[in-house]
Amino acid sequence: MDVGTRRSEPSTAANLSLFDPGNIIDDSVFFDGTSMSPRDVQNFLESKVGPCRAGYTCLKDYREATRNIAPGPLCNGYVAGPYESAADIISKVGNSCGISPKVLLVTLQKEQGLVTDTWPTASQYRIAMGMGCPDTAACDSEYFGFFNQVYGAAAQFKRYANPPGTSRYFTWYEPGRTWNVRFHPNAACGSAPVYIRNQATANLYYYTPYQPNRAALAAGYGTGDGCSAYGNRNFYQYFVDWFGSVRGYSVGTPFQDVYNSSQGSLGYPTRPYTCGLIRGGCYQVFTNGWIVDSAGTQPQIVALDYRGAWWATGNENGYLGYPTSNRVCGIANGGCYQTFEGGWIVHSASTPIVPVTSAVRGSWWYYGNENGFLGYPLASGDCSTGAGCVQVFQGGAVSTSSVGGVRAVRAEVLALWNSWGRERGVMGFPSGDPPLTASPNYTQAFSGGVVQVKGGVAALVSSIDPWANTRVTSPWLGGQVTSQLCDLKGGACHQEFAGGWMVKSPAGVSALPPAVLTVWFNWGREWGILGFPTSGPSAAPETGNYTQNFQGGVVTVTGGVGKLTSTVDPWFSAVLASPWLGQQTTSQVCDLTGGACRQEFAGGWMVQSRSGAFAVPAAVVGLWNNWGRERGIIGFPTGAPSADPASGAYTQSFQGGVVTVSGGVARLSSTTDPWFARVLASPWLGPQTTSRLCDLKGGACRQVFSGGWMVQSPSGAYAVPTAVLNLWFNYGREWGDLGFPTGPPSANPESGNYTQSFQGGVVKVTNGVPSF
């Protein structure tokens, strides 16, 4: 960097008696990156030089293609242009890096005289700012080129302040301290102590590490003695001659004492003392922070790093309000804090700068603040749910909500809470507190359930959310295999786990072990007769013996094997109650009268009609078929067998009568049909020899049997023995004096002695001979 004089000095000169080696230029002036627009810079350049020599390009006419640079901790990056002027580059770089374009112009002049030179060389543009050109070594080619020089020098000016995202490398001219600054690269020329009062002055010494001696100051733009260096003298002179003053704003009178107490750490004012904030507040911006007060608070310093956190909360308009103290350091782990009306801002050597509300601070203090299990906060409170806020600390969290109040959670509970979706999940907000002292075993209430900590491991043991409660009360489910899917009937949901399923439907939320799942799947899942589960297992599935209820029945697990043991479906209930049916041999067919259904099994039939669903053993099915099945006098079954058909002795009721099975042989033992009831009551009739004929008087019916006739008329249905039948014929049958029979034989005709009444009288049989 420049230590000698430059050509083309101004015709007027600044008053060098005002040169202050400890405050060469105010921070407010040096760091004002928006002080000149591209048009301002161009006008300035044109005012400093006339026509250029032929064959040369003056700075006012210089252009080059620039490159894109990503934002970083020093500058906000640069958007390239294909043919940008020197004015464009100087203004854009100043704005990006927060360095005044005036500073850049003065530096270009003091280093290479480019502003006023009418015949600049390529070498002057190549190292225009002297960036990367130490007085004791060759220039670094990495910074060659006008654009690289301007951007690199501006970024370097920012780097000297060690901004966030960089290291604290530049500390040997740190503001607020006295440093010995040399007069010349030759150490024999000596040095003098300088109290460096601001960052801008420190930057100039980092860039050109020499102060002018008396001879240099006395020479104006001229040459002093052999120990004179001119870089910082020339910077001051050019700046004052071109732009009027190196001074910015004065410290507001009410803030003077506080500012003085900062011992230069605040730097210099970069904005004027300003009032008009809420509640009578005033502020002033400095290089390294703010001073703020209000009608109800004293002036306090808010350092630059804390100001960002304060502004993120809405500054004096937010929940923190105005500061009530300056920053205090010296707490655990290199920590510092600052108090505000509505909370704190705090950080440590290993944690970020974070605001803490008064409510959270109260809980934090109760649990030992930074010395307790919570430690330091790691982030601002998350209030995105709108129902409350959660602030995470090194060792847990503190939440504030209307449902739970202000509550702390320890790290083990926070981990569990996070796994359940934190406050957005089923657990909701904490509504109880952890123990004050560390304990491996405790419980903590949440708005959505209860957490139990055993041996330092937290688990959700109950929840008001049906799904979550079923999950936590069914540990045998194991780890989840899939996410929740709502693809069951009617939009019902399920989730697969290593040890079964969770199912949620209008019938409730239930966990299903594998043994039950197998049965459910075999019976058509929710589309089958079982429908949805209505309860969980009656006992821990690991026992191998339990039941589980469904909408359509009950599954029983014995020895780890499940089966459907009851159902509300009449058909399947009858099947389950009739194991003697054996295996099905056909599918269900609904081809009986009136759409009634049947299904054939190895041991009989299942029949379902309006009379109900009943199992019919094979012996009864044979008889039923013989009597014309459901179209005959028997009709549909109305009851189940009275005993296990394997016994060979039982009865079964039908619409038209009762079938009795003895020794495995079935017979119709009673019927509601008068004709067949009479036939059944008259075994002496023997086998039929004709079908029934309705050719008697008035459409009355008859049927011939080997032992007599069956006659049905308006007088009733009666069996007529052969002996009586012969006499009836002799008297003209129903057309004669006797008419139709009105009663059965009074005794078994095989006895030979009995009577039988007719419409016209009584026939008497004695020793087998009838008389009237």
Please enumerate, as own/partner, the contacts of 14-18 that have beta carbons within 8 Å and a separation of 24 or more. Answer: 14/236, 14/237, 14/239, 14/240, 14/241, 15/240, 16/217, 16/218, 16/220, 16/233, 16/236, 16/237, 17/217
Which range is least confidently modeled, 4-18, 123-137, 284-298, 643-657? 4-18
527 touches 537 (CB < 8 A): no
Q: What whole-number percentage of the chain has pLDDT above 70?
A: 98
pLDDT of residue 3: 46
pLDDT of residue 250: 78
Nearest residue to 609 (alpha-carbon basis) of 552, 571, 567, 578: 571
Residue at 199: amino acid letter:
Q
- 367 SS3 class: coil
pLDDT tens by residue, 398-426: 999 999 999 999 999 999 999 999 999 88
Distance in angstroms (rounded) separating the CA atoms of residues 185 and 273: 41
- 766 SS3 class: strand
Nearest residue to 405 (alpha-carbon basis) of 354, 357, 363, 435: 363
Nearest residue to 184 (alpha-carbon basis) of 215, 155, 146: 215
State the burial class of residue 714 (Cβ atoms within 10 Å of its Cβ: 0-12, 13-18, 19+): exposed
Distance in angstroms (rounded) separating the CA atoms of residues 502 and 175: 67
Angle between helices 101-112 and 231-243 (to 10 degrees): 130
Distance in angstroms (rounded) separating the CA atoms of residues 577 and 566: 8
Question: What's the first-to-final CA gap in the chain, in angstroms?
Answer: 160
Please enumerate, as own/partner, the contacts of 299-303 that have beta carbons within 8 Å and a separation of 24 or more. Answer: 299/254, 299/255, 299/257, 299/258, 300/258, 300/324, 300/325, 300/326, 300/338, 301/258, 301/262, 301/266, 301/326, 301/327, 302/338, 303/327
Q: What is the mean pLDDT of residues 615-631?
A: 93
Q: Which residues pair with 355 in a beta bridge?
A: 345
DSSP state, residue 516:
H
pLDDT tens by residue, 439-449: 999 999 999 99
Q: Give the H or E element holding residue 143.
A: none
494 touches 507 (CB < 8 A): no
Token readout for 502 is 């969770």
95 touches 33 (CB < 8 A): yes
325 touches 283 (CB < 8 A): no
pLDDT of residue 480: 85
Which residues lie below 8 Å from residue 38, measured CB to CB, with a gap of 6+?
A: 85, 87, 88, 90, 91, 92
Q: Is the pLDDT of residue 5 over 50?
A: no
Residue 445 Cα distances to 58, 437, 460, 637, 719, angstroms: 77, 17, 10, 61, 87
Strand order, beta sheet including 561-567: 546-550, 553-558, 561-567
Residue 159 Cα distances to 155, 156, 163, 226, 304, angstroms: 6, 5, 7, 32, 16
DSSP state, residue 78:
B
Token readout for 754 is 């009995």
Nearest residue to 705 (alpha-carbon basis) of 673, 749, 735: 749
Give 85's pLDDT tier (boundaries 50, 70, 90): very high
CA 283 to chain CA mean position, Å: 43
Distance in angstroms (rounded) separating the CA atoms of residues 405 and 466: 24
Q: What is the mean pLDDT of residues 709-713?
A: 96
Distance in angstroms (rounded) separating the CA atoms of residues 515 and 116: 94
pLDDT tens by residue, 239-257: 999 998 888 887 899 999 9
Q: Give the H or E element holding residue 152.
A: helix 146-159
pLDDT of residue 17: 86
Give 6's pLDDT tier (boundaries 50, 70, 90): very low
Q: What is the DSSP string of 559-622?
A: TTEEEEEEESSHHHHHHHT-GGG-SBSS--B--SGGG-EEEEETTEEEEEETTEEEEEEHHHHH
Residue 179 φ then ψ, to 5°: -130, 150
pLDDT of residue 454: 94
Domain boundaries, given as residue ranges, for the chain: 16-243, 253-475, 477-560, 570-672, 677-771
pLDDT of residue 4: 42
pLDDT tens by residue, 22-67: 999 998 899 999 999 999 999 999 999 999 999 999 999 999 999 9
Give 159's pLDDT tier (boundaries 50, 70, 90): very high
Q: What is the mean pLDDT of residues 449-456?
A: 94
Q: Is the pLDDT of residue 7 over 90?
A: no
**Whole-number average pLDDT of the chain:** 93
- 189 SS3 class: helix
Q: Which residues pair with 66 in a beta bridge?
A: none
Distance in angstroms (rounded) separating the CA atoms of residues 301 and 290: 6
Identify the residue whose tokens are 């979706």.
421
Q: What is the mean pLDDT of residues 357-367?
A: 96
Q: Is the pLDDT of residue 10 over 70?
A: no
Q: What is the mean pLDDT of residues 475-493?
A: 92
pLDDT of residue 13: 62
Distance in angstroms (rounded) separating the CA atoms of residues 546 and 249: 85
Q: Is the pLDDT of residue 691 over 90?
A: no
Give 135's pLDDT tier (boundaries 50, 70, 90): low
Which range is least confidently modeled, 194-208, 236-250, 317-331, 645-659? 236-250
Distance in angstroms (rounded) separating the CA atoms of residues 362 and 369: 9
Distance in angstroms (rounded) separating the CA atoms of residues 522 and 516: 10
Nearest residue to 728 (alpha-carbon basis) of 694, 697, 762, 753: 762
pLDDT of residue 430: 96
Sign of the CA dihedral 339, 341, 343, 345?
negative
Residue 530 Cα distances to 70, 162, 179, 519, 587, angstroms: 65, 73, 89, 9, 19
516 touches 564 (CB < 8 A): no
Angle (nearest 5°) at CA 98 between 95 and 101: 60
Which residues lie below 8 Å from residue 527, measured CB to CB, with a gap of 6+?
A: 489
In 738-747, which positions are buried (b, 16+ CB within 10 angstroms) versus exposed (e)? Answer: bbbbbebbee
Largest CA distance in the chain: 178
Q: Give the H or E element holding residue 66.
A: none
Token readout for 493 is 């949901």
Distance in angstroms (rounded) separating the CA atoms of residues 407 and 417: 13
355 touches 376 (CB < 8 A): no
Identify the residue whose tokens are 């910015």.
248
Q: Is the pLDDT of residue 134 over 90?
A: no
Identify the residue whose tokens are 């075994």.
683
